[in-house]
Amino acid sequence: MTYIQPVKTEYVTFDPPLSPELGMGPELVVNPVEDDRIWIELEPNVWFRPLFFDMNSGGHGEVLRVKRGGILSRHKHSTPVHGFVLKGEWRYLEHSWTAKEGAYVMEPPGEIHTLTVDSDDEMQTVFFIQGPTLYLDEHDNVTLIEDNFYLIKTAQKHYEKVGLGKDFVNQFIR
């Protein structure tokens, strides 16, 4: 049986799981860092920082960062999404409300929306997403399926390019 050794880096910390014989993975502490290389660009002025990828459920946690009036393209989710605004504010083009710092948002599955930040200020929101995000064109045709496999490959390419190494993303996979 292989036991996981404790890990402590600038980016993450975890101890061996309490019951490795049951197949449990270790807990994960993602440390706050000021290294901009951890942010992965999705679209112009839109980045994400992975918190975890749960390969059993297909879910993941991320901090989404949008600057300078960026827009996260029109999309929907197959499962509910939970978000908590850490900094700034954002809204959906399809709704009248604005999510401000400290707000909690629950997005129902199947709802189509386009996230935008109107000001030049930075927005950061923690999102917990339990399945794929489907990006849509104006006729509701799927143009991209963003799941854990896609995000991990995107992260590998990014981390390789910025000098952290493609395996850097592995520390977030559970």
3 state DSSP class of 166: helix
Residue 55: its pLDDT value, please?
Answer: 87
Cα 49 → chain centroid: 6
Q: What is the CATH number of domain 35-172?
A: 2.60.120.10
Helix (H) / strand (E) element for 155: namely helix 148-161
What is the value of pTM for the model shown?
0.86
What is the Cα–Cα distance from 173 to 5, expressed in whole angstroms? 15
Write the CA distances from 9 to 2, 106, 118, 171, integer angstroms: 21, 33, 36, 10
The predicted structure's pLDDT at residue 1: 40
Give me the pLDDT at residue 47, please. Answer: 96
Go through the chain and tell me how many residues it has: 174
CATH 2.60.120.10 domain span(s) along the chain: 35-172
* pLDDT reported for residue 144: 96
Please give the pLDDT value at position 8: 64
DSSP SS3 for 37: helix
Give per-10-residue mean pLDDT for the chain (174 aa).
56 62 67 90 95 92 93 94 97 96 96 92 96 95 96 97 94 88
**Exposed/middle/buried for 56, CB within 10 Å: 0-12, 13-18, 19+?**
exposed
Q: How far apart are CA 109 and CA 172, in angstroms?
A: 25
